Structure 1
Amino acid sequence: MAIEAQEIETLIRAKFPDAQITITDLAGDGNHWAAEVIDESFRGQNRVQQQRAVYAALKEQMSGSNGALHALALTTKAPD
């Protein structure tokens, strides 16, 4: 079952309510996504810490072979 962009954004926004979030369907199949998340809470964190925080928000959808979200290219940063 494919996941919709809005669902990915909703899951991320639940943890990062003030973030600027851009979701892109890379393959047009609803399975391969890119997300850019820009949030003040990332300031002072390295990229691994930032990305772990976002992946934690998506854990349920990414777990196991039956997870709805199969691939996510993730870019994170604090606002300029």
Structure 2
Amino acid sequence: MKASDIKQMIEAGLPDAEVQVFGDDGQHFDARVVSPSFAGKTLVQQHKMVKETLGDKFTSGEIHALSLKTSAA
């Protein structure tokens, strides 16, 4: 999996988000996601929203690790 694939999946699931994804080993990634949809949500809820956009990529092993930094603004 490529960082650009993850970026596209997050943007598709959170269309109002500004997304940056880094990582070039195919399994370990860092993502920064800023979305107005996160307003009023806890950090855990924000991370869950992002992970939901990635479907089964964690359970299938396509993504081994994803470090998230999220905010509403």
Question: Structures share a fold, TM > 0.5?
Answer: yes
Amino acid at match of 1:7: D
- Structure 2 residue runs without a partner (length 5+): none
- The share of aligned pairs that are identical, in percent, is 37
- Structure 1 residue runs without a partner (length 5+): none
Three-state SS of the structure 2 residue aligned to 1:12 is: helix
Task: Show the counterpart of 1:71.
Answer: 65
Aligned length: 73
Distance 1:78 1:5 in 2: 22
1:6 has 2:4 as partner: yes
Three-state SS of the structure 2 residue aligned to 1:67 is: coil
Q: What is the TM-score with the length of structure 1 in the denominator? A: 0.84
Runs of 4+ in 1 over 6 A off after TM superposition: none
